Amino acid sequence: MTSTTGSTPRQDPDDRQQDGRQDGRQDGRGPNARGGIGDGPVRTRTETAEDDRAESLAREPVATTLTGIVPGTDDGGRPRPDAPLVAVTGVTGYVGGRLVPELLTAGYRVRAVARHPDRLRGHPWRDQIEVAEADVSDLEATRKALTGVQVAYYLVHSLGSGRKFEATDRHAALVFGQAAREAGVERIIYLGGLYPEGEDLSPHLASRREVGEILLASGVPTTVLRAAVILGSGSASFEMMRYLTERLPAMTVPRWVRNRIQPIAIRDVLRYLVGSASMPHEVSRSFDIGGPEVLTYEQMMQRYAAIAGLPRRVIVPVPVLTPRLSSHWVGLVTPVPAGLAKPLVASLVHEVVCDEHDIADLVPDPPEGLVGFDRAVRLALQRVQDSAVSTRWSSAAVRGAPSDPLPSDPDWAGGYLYADERRTEVDASPAALWRVIESVGGTRGWYSWGLAWRVRGLMDRVVGGPGLRRGRSNQDRLVVDDVIDWWRVEEVQPGRLLRLRAEMRLPGLAWLELRIEDVDGADGSGEPDEGSPTDPRDDERWTRPPTVFAQRALFQPHGLAGQLYWASVTPFHGIIFGSMQRNVAQAAERAERARRTPAVASR
């Protein structure tokens, strides 16, 4: 596609200023950057200082380098009442969840379009935005959600949801384009995939291309941003590379590890997304977006290993690993399940390098330059180490995953709800007990028979489920819609209730409730007693033991298979949930004793 902006011809990369490195790489992208493949250079002292400065700048909102392009905020740092209203779909996903605060900082009013608005409750920006409930496959609901909107971001896809994801994405794009046109939206912005022209594409990339073409043909001016591998803490591509490199000092790999890729940092993706909202009306086209370097996947793993302080990896490409076999291998080694790894791996069969950088005519590159591979990896690892990963690939609820809330009256609905219930009186304050409850899963485990959990997690991964490797993004706090291993947080009442919904492969729906009750039997679903804080994490006054720890495992079976499943696992509940009950209680009591000891010693 060609630009309709009448912009000046792009300067040839050979005429651009060199970035000062000694490996021959340039600031240009596209075919002329072929010589840019190589391992990381040795940095001089000046270059190190410049990188440190760039890393500091990379922590600032992207709007700081978009002055004159974005509306800007009022004196209080909030969008002005007359600022353009933008709608964002996919707000529970990896990119959408990071885009919303960037748009607010840039001065846009934001309306989040979500199938399940309740899942936004835990986000810090929830009170600063409008929320509209709509599924993008529902024309009437989507048209209503887009009414009054100037710019609409389309950030939804069905990747990893099954064999029919192409048809699902095609239908959703057609509906969204029609709804946007009928609602009077002035621009659609879509983040798609970078792909080579003239090749038979993988199903994933072919679907991304098709969605972009549908939106461009919708009658609404559309910006399609095409990106390859996105580097950032929590992205599926980054996590796949990270775990493969960290866990396998030596590996046999498919030949595609030597294909050329032009990765891009999530910060630069967000910058292009925000800057695209102000494009002139006559612009309606695709733009290739990529970082300043072209690398092979093998070189990305080697450079990641160097940055992470790991020995150089032994990587041996072999011709026998097909994308299907590779995806199962990736699914076993990394947290990314095979269902999601398969389309990602199949896309790596193609060389994905930018053919143009026309986006810079409308959204200029930042003064410090685009974020390079090494810098992007360092920033991502720092966020992982600081438990400051704001969104992850697992943030989005995958279509087809269990999403029904806990039924309030299953018998009335004609079903069954089996329960395993346990209660233990704990010699610890509610605050001490809640801290243990809120920290379950991830690296801390489940306070019970660890081998049984690992075996069950492996079984789930073999059949395409998430298993235990999704972990958790924050080790200490939880909000609604957070992921913990194969669970998703359905409800959090700090100091009272944690309800988890299973997303593992089951012949039914399952939940796990961990509650704090008063000794007199008041359950954790109600309001706290008078004088008790609503959030014991922030108030040490709630310190009156004893406390009751209540635990419920619930299962709603689907058909005979579900009935048989419950019967088969019931004998193990005493071992797994019984030990969990005891160990959580003991951990809370140890924490309580540790809290009391300094107080006694100081008297």
pLDDT at 32: 35
Q: Mind giving me the DSSP string for 102-129? A: HHHHHT-EEEEEES-GGGGTTSTTGGGS
Higher-confidence residue of 326 and 243: namely 243
Q: Of 22-36, 133-147, 216-230, 585-599, where does mean pLDDT reach its minimum?
A: 22-36
For tokens 């406390």, what's the residue?
Answer: 547
Q: Of 65-69, 176-180, 298-302, 519-523, where does mean pLDDT reach its minimum?
A: 519-523
Q: Of 193-197, 521-525, 565-569, 584-588, where does mean pLDDT reach its minimum?
A: 521-525
Please provide the average confidence, as pLDDT, over all residues in the chain. Answer: 79
- Identify which of 163, 117, 109 has the alpha carbon closest to the alpha carbon of residue 141: 117
Q: Give how far Cα 251 sits from Cα of 244, 333, 339, 377, Å.
A: 9, 11, 22, 21
- The answer on pLDDT for 104 being more than 50 is yes
pLDDT at 525: 40
Asked if 537 and 431 touch (Cβ cutoff 8 Å), the reply is: yes
Burial (Cβ within 10 Å: 0-12, 13-18, ≥19) of residue 295: buried
Q: Give how far Cα 12 sits from Cα of 4, 9, 31, 33, 477, Å.
A: 20, 9, 11, 11, 50
pLDDT in tens, 350-396: 788 999 999 999 999 998 899 999 999 998 888 777 666 667 655 55
- The answer on pLDDT for 251 being more than 60 is yes
pLDDT at 541: 44
- The answer on pLDDT for 413 being more than 70 is no
pLDDT at 183: 96
pLDDT in tens, 534-558: 455 444 444 566 789 999 998 888 8
pLDDT at 61: 86
Categorize the per-residue pLDDT at 520 as very low, low, confident or very high, splitting at 50, 70 and 90: low
Query: What average pLDDT does range 196-216 have in this prediction?
Result: 88
Higher-confidence residue of 409 and 333: namely 333
- Identify which of 178, 124, 116, 111 has the alpha carbon closest to the alpha carbon of residue 151: 111
Domain with CATH 3.40.50.720 in the chain: 53-388
- The answer on pLDDT for 417 being more than 60 is yes
Give the Cα separation of 222 and 534 in Å (integer). Answer: 46
Higher-confidence residue of 447 and 402: namely 447
- For the chain, the straight-line distance linking the first and the last C-alpha, in angstroms and rounded, comes to 76
The number of beta carbons lying within 10 Å of the beta carbon of residue 74 is 11
> How much of the chain, in percent, has pLDDT values that exceed 90?
37
pLDDT at 56: 52
Asked if 223 and 184 touch (Cβ cutoff 8 Å), the reply is: no
Highest mean predicted confidence (pLDDT) among 57-71, 242-256, 351-365, 494-508: 351-365
pLDDT at 338: 61
Alpha helices of 249-364 — where are they, by DSSP H?
266-276, 297-307, 323-333, 338-347
The number of beta carbons lying within 10 Å of the beta carbon of residue 15 is 8
Give the Cα separation of 34 and 579 in Å (integer). Answer: 58
Query: What average pLDDT does range 416-424 have in this prediction?
Result: 86
Highest mean predicted confidence (pLDDT) among 25-39, 169-183, 485-499, 562-576: 169-183
Phi/psi for 109 (5° steps) reads -80, 140
pLDDT at 19: 36
- Identify which of 406, 441, 428, 450 has the alpha carbon closest to the alpha carbon of residue 549: 428
pLDDT at 393: 55
- The answer on pLDDT for 75 being more than 60 is yes
DSSP 313: P
- The answer on pLDDT for 11 being more than 50 is no
For tokens 């379950």, what's the residue?
Answer: 440
Strand 250-254 and strand 314-318: pairing? Answer: parallel
Query: What angle in degrees, to the nearest 10, is found between the helix axes of 373-385 and 266-276?
Result: 100
Strand 85-89 and strand 264-265: pairing? Answer: unpaired
- CATH superfamily placement of domain 418-519+544-596: START domain (3.30.530.20)
- Amino acid code (one letter) for 120: L
User: What are the strands, taking DSSP E only, across 75-180?
Assistant: 85-89, 109-114, 130-133, 151-154
pLDDT at 453: 84
Asked if 139 and 114 touch (Cβ cutoff 8 Å), the reply is: no
359-368 CB burial, b ≥16 within 10 A, e <16: bbebbebbeb
Higher-confidence residue of 360 and 92: namely 360
Kind plus residue range of the DSSP H or E element containing 159: none
pLDDT in tens, 292-329: 999 998 999 999 999 989 999 998 887 766 666 666 66
pLDDT at 346: 67
pLDDT at 414: 43
Q: Which residues pair with 510 in a beta bridge?
A: 555
Higher-confidence residue of 181 and 380: namely 181
Domain with CATH 3.30.530.20 in the chain: 418-519+544-596
- The answer on pLDDT for 454 being more than 70 is yes
Give the Cα separation of 396 and 91 in Å (integer). Answer: 8
CATH of domain 53-388: 3.40.50.720
pTM of the predicted model as reported, rounded to 2 decimal places: 0.71
pLDDT at 247: 81
How many helices and strands in the chain, by DSSP H and E? 14, 19
Q: Give how far Cα 240 sits from Cα of 90, 253, 278, 301, Å.
A: 22, 14, 34, 10
The residues near 103 (Cβ < 8 Å, ≥ 6 apart) are 86, 88, 110, 274, 277
Q: Mind giving me the DSSP string for 16-57? A: SPP-S-SS---S--SGGGGGG--PPPPPPHHHHHHHHHHHHH
Categorize the per-residue pLDDT at 240 as very low, low, confident or very high, splitting at 50, 70 and 90: confident
pLDDT at 597: 74
